[in-house]
A and B are shown apart, each in its own frame.
Chain A
Amino acid sequence: MTIKGGYCQKILEMDLSNNKKRVIEVSDRFAVKYVGGRGWGARIIWENLEQIKDPLSPSNLVVIAPGPLSGLYLPASGKTSFSSISPATGLYADSNMGGMFAVEIKQAGYDAIIIRGRAEKFSYLFIDDDCVEVRNAHKYKGLGCTETERHLKEDLGDETLRIATIGSAGENLVRFSCINSEWSRNAGRTGMGAIFGSKNLKAIVIRGTKDLPVFDLTRLVELGEHAYKTLKSHRLFEFWQRQGLMTVVDYANAAGILPTRNFKDTCFDDADKINGEVMETFYKIGDTACYACPMTCGNVNLVKEGKYAGTVTEGPEYETACMFGSNVGINDFAAVLRANYLCDEYGVDTISTGNLIAAVIEAYEKGILTLDELGGMALHWGDSDSIMELIRKIGKREGIGNVIAEGSYGLIKKWPAIKQLISQVKGLEQSSYDVRSAITMALSYGTSDIGGHHARAWTIAKELEVGSDWTLDEKAEIVIYQQTVRPLFDMLGVCRLPWVELGFSESAYAEFYSAATGIETGLEELLKRSEAVYNITRAINIKLGATVKDDFPSWRCFNEPIKTGPLAGKKLEMEEYTKILQLYYNKRGWDENGVPMLKTLDRLELTDIKM
């Protein structure tokens, strides 16, 4: 088994503490076994686990990895994974972003970049092919993400540089701060921005000019052409270009799963004021796309009048529209855009920020928080002024913002009564689907390795549509299958949306992989490697102290039935959830405590992982 393309087989390792650069040669065996992207990230984190003390100390590391398919001639091949230990959850973390950054890393000749240590001075990392320099970033301190990117491009005199940067939230170690690239592509979740901040690292600036190695370019181009044709001929393609993920608002509202006013309700009366139609009619001024992707999910929007006039932002997509729309009671799309802009600029995750602000509003409404504790600023559903002010306070860590900046666990530690109001799993704030009506989605969130995020498995639509007579067995299986397929995209360095939204076949990716690397590989084989990576991330979490109780969705799911809408009356039953969780462990080959069993690790060729 010899790699003939797809991989550069080099990792750039930068220790910021002593300014030492090292280029690590990657063996064929390692490259293929862990595929790339999140797979490599997880494995490298595992190997360094013992040395990592606090996630925000210099002992932590972050692995920035595109995949073997990144940058190649196939739809949406521009994904970069960031893997580390999360300052929000204290457990395994990864988050990925689209855009062009992945391509540039690969063109510079690296499959991954590892950042260790902590720079003495506030710095940015400059990479131009083989030239790697740590440069002073003092000038950019406190600047927002898009501002930083603009200034860096101006100062370096090159508009075509690719930049990943943090905003003031990352500098201030906000535990859900993100890394921003291309102005509005974000590795949003799990607090990657704070890890950069803790390393005194403002940005990575990169330029690469090398050819990407491809084993059989003719075959890859043929497969790519076919893929583009398939996507373009899908009946929803043109509509998708126009509205992208914003179409989900109407779906989620009609289905009764749209989190509203801090996940209390599941339908929002004013959903038609924050949906894709409104965006397209009144705000949209252009499309953006990730690398080589025809889907143009990114919608550039401009607020033309009113108090937020002049706000330009790429986005929102569904998650943001929900978290800063229905979930905080905002029915003004201009305000949603403003919130999105502010989050991007300060560099905080829109999901976590919207989720936590909603929890704080409810806590104030219920009297858990007093006006004093809020710094004299009353909070109400839909009051966009105070919500914008809260985003600023979080980004700058002022007053109440300083407490919210500590994330779910920080808030709970300070005000234990707020625990019942926060929708989170493992300390990561839950993304925008109400799970009281869909146990598979609850299980997806519960067993997601990074915490309450839908990236690992998204089963809710299918369950609501056809899942009423599925057995618990089938339900556990579908979650496991999704948790195996979806992370595979993150390992390959491509986006999953062509598969999720336009029905593009997952088996095509095995062909892409074979054409690129010269190693004939079937989907089954790739899925097995993805399963292995899921076991590695599980092993990391177990080592870091995660237990069965961390695999449960939030309190509200079990205790407050849905009040209105098509799914009124639904809630999760603890007994049933416990049962499906044990079934899930069993099917995964984990023991009753959720620990991967020896025979499972054996089957997945992970014998060196000792639990």
Chain B
Amino acid sequence: MRKLTVIPERCSGCRLCELACAINAFGVNNPKKAKLRVFSLYPHPVIKKPIVCNQCRIPKCSENCPTGAIYIEDGIVKIDEKTCSSCQMCVTSCPFGAIFVHQEIAVPFKCELCGGYPKCVEVCPKKAILYTPEHILGQSMRLAGVLKYAHMKEVEYFEHGIVKKLRYADIEKGKTSGDNNDN
């Protein structure tokens, strides 16, 4: 299973993803019909972040759907247009705001990952949206955590009369400051 992940620091806010998505999904040149949305804030903080569906395993949108129109198929959260009453409960219950509406479209719409080839990922000129295997998700946080724990240190030493540097992780220090429990 792969999912969309977003690196907001890279996003330029050009909205090409929105446009390509809408063309792909509805065959119209109308970014307001995209199944994702770039949100830009300025100047405090300066951030641009594409809002994408996380394909939750326990989707709040589905839990709150009064007609049971939202189901999971092959890991992808889908809306059944026939069952949907377009009450838009899903739109407001999604914790990320990743379900959208448009006055010309009868029911809410959301990302279904373009059959495994997400258009937004393909067109993004900044590689701000990635299509990542699930087990990679959170990897950057893990890495940051490891580096923080490791307290990297440097030691200088001589080899054949030349000064050299060796980097090592000060594990002991991490141990004392951490919440290790040797029971």
Tell me the residues in window 312-335 of chain A with beta carbons closer than 8 Å to chain B beta carbons.
Answer: 312-314
- Which of A107, A146, A287, A290 interacts with B42 by CB under 8 Å? A146
B29 within 8 A of A: yes
Q: Convert A187-225 into 0s and 1s, putting 1 for each residue whose CB lies closer than 8 angstroms to a CB of B.
A: 000000000000000000000111110100100110000
* Nearest Cβ on chain B to A279's Cβ, whole angstroms: 15
Is the CB–CB distance between B9 and A286 below 8 Å? yes
B27 within 8 A of A: yes
* Nearest Cβ on chain A to B11's Cβ, whole angstroms: 8
Q: Looking across the interface, which residue of chain B has its beta carbon closest to that of A341?
A: B43
- Which of A211, A288, A289, A295 interacts with B28 by CB under 8 Å? A211
Q: Convert B13-32 into 0s and 1s, putting 1 for each residue whose CB lies closer than 8 angstroms to a CB of A.
A: 11110011001000111111
B12 within 8 A of A: yes
- Which of A211, A212, A293, A312 interacts with B46 by CB under 8 Å? A312
Is the CB–CB distance between B126 and A159 below 8 Å? no
Is the CB–CB distance between B46 and A285 below 8 Å? yes
Q: Convert B103-141 into 0s and 1s, putting 1 for each residue whose CB lies closer than 8 angstroms to a CB of A.
A: 110000000000000000001011000000000000000
A217 and B19 CA atoms in complex are apart in Å by 12
B48 within 8 A of A: yes
Is the CB–CB distance between A209 and B102 below 8 Å? yes
Q: Which residues of A contact B10 (CB under 8 A)?
A: 287
A214 and B31 CA atoms in complex are apart in Å by 14
Give the size range of A's interface with the partner.
35 or more
B57 within 8 A of A: no
Is the CB–CB distance between A211 and B125 below 8 Å? no
A100 within 8 A of B: yes
B168 within 8 A of A: no
B64 within 8 A of A: no
Q: Convert A99-135 into 0s and 1s, putting 1 for each residue whose CB lies closer than 8 angstroms to a CB of B.
A: 0100100010000000000000000000000000000
Is the CB–CB distance between A217 and B41 below 8 Å? no
Q: Which residues of A contact B11 (CB under 8 A)?
A: 287
A292 and B38 CA atoms in complex are apart in Å by 12
Q: Looking across the interface, which residue of chain A has its beta carbon closest to that of B102?
A: A209
A291 and B14 CA atoms in complex are apart in Å by 5
A3 within 8 A of B: no
A289 and B29 CA atoms in complex are apart in Å by 19
Q: Which residues of A contact B126 (CB under 8 A)?
A: 241, 287, 294, 296
B44 within 8 A of A: yes
Is the CB–CB distance between A209 and B103 below 8 Å? yes
A302 and B42 CA atoms in complex are apart in Å by 12
A148 and B13 CA atoms in complex are apart in Å by 20
* Nearest Cβ on chain A to B148's Cβ, whole angstroms: 22
Is the CB–CB distance between A73 and B29 below 8 Å? yes
Is the CB–CB distance between A146 and B23 below 8 Å? no
Is the CB–CB distance between A298 and B12 below 8 Å? yes
Is the CB–CB distance between B42 and A211 below 8 Å? no
B96 within 8 A of A: no
A217 and B28 CA atoms in complex are apart in Å by 8
The verdict on A288 contacting B20 (CB below 8 Å), with A209-B102, A212-B29, A312-B46 known, is no
Is the CB–CB distance between A107 and B48 below 8 Å? no
Is the CB–CB distance between A289 and B43 below 8 Å? no
A254 within 8 A of B: no
A364 within 8 A of B: no
A557 within 8 A of B: no
Tell me the residues in window 142-196 of chain A with beta carbons closer than 8 Å to chain B beta carbons.
Answer: 146, 150, 159-160, 183
- Which of B23, B44, B125 interacts with A312 by CB under 8 Å? B44
Q: Which residues of A contact B30 (CB under 8 A)?
A: 107, 209-212
* Nearest Cβ on chain A to B65's Cβ, whole angstroms: 25
Is the CB–CB distance between B29 and A211 below 8 Å? yes
Please list the residues of chain B having a beta carbon within 8 angstroms of any beta carbon in chain A: 9-16, 19-20, 23, 27-33, 37, 39-44, 46, 48, 102-104, 123, 125-126
10 interchain pairs, CB-CB under 8 A: A100-B15, A107-B32, A146-B43, A183-B42, A209-B104, A210-B30, A211-B104, A289-B13, A291-B15, A312-B43
Please list the residues of chain A having a beta carbon within 8 angstroms of any beta carbon in chain B: 71-73, 100, 103, 107, 146, 150, 159-160, 183, 208-212, 214, 217, 220-221, 228, 232, 241, 285-296, 298, 300, 302, 312-314
Additional pairs, 6, CB under 8 Å, beyond known A73-B23, A294-B14, A312-B46: A107-B32, A209-B102, A221-B23, A228-B123, A286-B12, A289-B125
